[in-house]
Amino acid sequence: MAIEIQGTADAAFEGLRTLMQEQVASGEELGASIVINVAGKNVVDLWGGYADEGRTQPWTKDTITHIWSSTKTVAALATLILVDRGLLDLEAPVSKYWPEFGAEGKKDVVLVKHVLSHTSGVSGWEKPMTIQDLYDWDKATSRLAAQKPWWTPGSGSGYHSLNYGHLLGELVRRVTGKSLRDFVREEMAGPLGADLQIGAAEKDWPRISPVVPPPPSGFDLSKMDPESIMAKTFGTPLVDAAYSWTPEWRRAEIPAVNGHSHARGLARILSSITLGGSVDGVKLLSPETIERIFEVQADGVDHVLSIPMRYGIGFGLAGGASAQSVGWLPSGKVCFWGGWGGSLIVMDLDRQITFSYVMNKMGMGILGSTRTEAYIKVAYKALGVEGY
C-alpha cells in the first residue's frame, strides 16, 4: 500500500496533496516536501514518500536532503544581508574587499553585483580542479582570484554553477571574519529556527535522504570544445550526484551546491524576501535592499546554460528571457532559483507567496522538472491566479 502524504494543507490545496500522492504511487516521485507560505502563514506544509531508494524508510517531517543549487539562494541572501548592513556595496569592485581578486584585469571591473548576478565573467575555474580541490577553500578561492574573466564583466550572464558560493563566501569571510556556513547558521537559520545548513553536521546525517541521481540526459561534456565557457564551467571539476552521499562532501563548504534542508527550512529563510525583509519579528533585510534584487542585470541567452534567462541581483527573475525557459512560473514581481534535479524556491512579492519544493529523486531539466512544473501549476490554480 502506498505511503500517505503527511502534513497540513488548507482545503483549497487538497489537490496538491492528491498530486503528491499520485506522483509517489506511480514511482515518479520518491520522497518530497512542499511548503507554500502566504503572507507569513504556511497554508501548505506537506511531506511524504520514501527517504531511501529501496522504499523501506518513510520521508518524515524532519527528513532533509541535498538541495543542490537551491543553496545559491541562501548564499545570495547572506550577501544581501551584508549589503543591507553597509559592509558590502553592490556597486563596489570585488577587489575592494578581496584585493587578490584584482589580478588579471579584474580590479575595478568585476563588481559585487556582477558576482551576485552571474555576470562576473568568472563562472568557473580556469585550471583543472579535482573534487578534492573543490573541498579546499583556500586553494579554490585563490585560483579564482588569480584568473582572467572569460567574458566582459557585466555584459551578459554565465551561470556560476559551482563557484558562486566560493566567490560570495570569500566576500562574506573578508568583511565578517566568518565562513558563509557559519554566517548562515548563526545569523539566518539560527535566529529563524530554520532547518537548513551548508554542508551537513555529522549529527544530522541519519536523517539525510540521499539523492537519487537523474536518468542519463544525453548531454556529453566530452564532445564539447574544452575551451568553451560551458565546458570549463561544468567540467572543472565534473560533479557526480553520488558525491553528495560521501562524508567528504557533507563536511565541505560548497555554498553554491551543498546545502541540506527540506521545503519548510528553505521557505522559512527565503520568505524574508517575500515578506519585506522580516519573518516573525526577525529582520534580515530592508525593503530597499529587496528592491535591488529586481534590477535586471542580464536578459538573454546564458553563456553556460545556453537557455534564455533574466537575472536580477542574486536571483533569477520571472518574465523577460526567463519566460522562454520557465514560462510556467508566475508573472509579476517574482524572483526564484532551483537545484539540479528539480528543487525550487519562488518568492512572489506581488501575491506575498513563497513556494518551496525539495525532493530526493532527481528529475531531468536544467531548472525545475516536469514534477516541479506540475506542482507549481496546481498550487497557483488553487491560489486563484489567472492563467493556471
Residue-range domain boundaries for the chain: 1-387
User: What are the strands of the beta sheet with 31-38, ordered from one edge?
Assistant: 6-9, 41-49, 31-38, 353-359, 344-348, 334-338, 316-317, 308-311, 298-301
Q: How many CB atoms lie within 10 A of CB 287?
A: 9
Query: Cβ contacts of residue 316 below 8 Å, gap of 6+?
Result: 309, 310, 322, 326, 335, 336, 337, 367
Q: Beta strand pairing status for 278-279 and 282-283?
A: antiparallel
What phi and psi values does residue 5 have, to the nearest 5 degrees?
-75, 130
Alpha carbons 8 and 5: distance in angstroms, whole number = 9
Q: What is the pLDDT along the chain (388 residues), one digit of tens a residue?
A: 568 999 999 999 999 999 999 999 999 999 999 999 999 999 999 999 999 999 999 999 999 999 999 999 999 999 999 999 999 999 999 999 999 999 999 999 999 999 999 999 999 999 999 999 999 999 999 999 999 999 999 999 999 999 999 999 999 999 999 999 999 999 999 999 999 999 999 999 999 999 999 988 777 887 888 899 999 999 999 999 999 999 999 999 999 999 999 999 999 999 999 999 999 999 999 999 999 999 999 999 999 999 999 999 999 999 999 999 999 999 999 999 999 999 999 999 999 999 999 999 999 988 999 999 999 999 999 999 999 9
Q: In sequence order, what are the beta bridge partners of 128?
A: none
Nearest CA to 294 among 376, 350, 373? 350
Burial (0-12, 13-18, 19+ Cβ within 10 Å), 215: exposed
For the record, the C-alpha cell of 344 comes out as: 525550487
Residue 91 CA to its chain's centroid (Å): 23
pLDDT at 162: 98
- Determine contact, residues 2/20, Cβ cutoff 8 Å: no
CATH number of 1-387: 3.40.710.10
Alpha carbons 165 and 198: distance in angstroms, whole number = 10
